[in-house]
Amino acid sequence: MKVELFLSKDIKEAYSQIHTDKITDNIQKAIELLEDDEYSDKPSLLAVSNGQDISLLDYGDIYMIRVENKQVIVYTQKDDYTTKKPLYQLEDILDSSFVRISKTTIINIHKINRVAPSFRGMMFVELKNDLKDTISRKYLPTFKESLDI
């Protein structure tokens, strides 16, 4: 797709035009993103802790978020952290790179290494940092939709 950007000091309010012969899923997502006034206000950092230390993680550094032993664990390339936010709140604030794959797990789709069939109609996902989890049947349609498959 060809994209052109024009900057002008004379323009009072930003606007965009899309020229296409049909509306695809990607074009629909672009329209929704451009029309979403709240998108620019959403944070792209998540406050997490590792013992007494508090860190701010960029969403792009997060591989997986999983509930284990009633704690929400945030996994990165090499480290893991905890957060006080429940999974449902994280699901609401994270961007479209993240998808819930089970009752207890959210993953970053940009960090997927491979997806394979598992038992009883479920799928298995392996991330680039070697973390593995199962995609439950309930969340499989949403997962496939997020990957455009």
What percent of the chain has pLDDT above 70? 93
Task: Give which of 48, 100, 44 is closest to 74, Cα–Cα.
Answer: 48
- Whether pLDDT at 41 is above 70: no
Residue with tokens 């629909």: 28
Kindly list the distances between the CA atom of residue 7 and the CA atoms of 4, 18, 31, 74, in Å, as whole numbers in the listed order.
Answer: 10, 16, 20, 39
- Whether pLDDT at 15 is above 90: no
| Domain 41-146 CATH superfamily | LytTr DNA-binding domain (2.40.50.1020)
Q: What is the mean pLDDT of residues 111-121?
A: 87
List, in order, residues 6 or more apart from 70 with CB less than 8 Å away.
none
Give the model's pLDDT for residue 149.
75
Instruction: Say which residue, 96 or 10, is predicted with more confidence.
Output: 96
Q: Which residue ranges make up each domain of the chain?
A: 41-146
Instruction: With beta carbons less than 8 A apart as the criterion, state whether 47 and 56 touch.
Output: yes
Give the model's pLDDT for residue 37.
57
User: Which tens digits make up the pLDDT trace of 44-95?
Assistant: 889 999 988 889 999 999 999 999 999 999 999 999 999 999 999 999 999 8
Record the pTM.
0.70
How confident is residue 23, by pLDDT bands cut at 50, 70 and 90?
Answer: confident
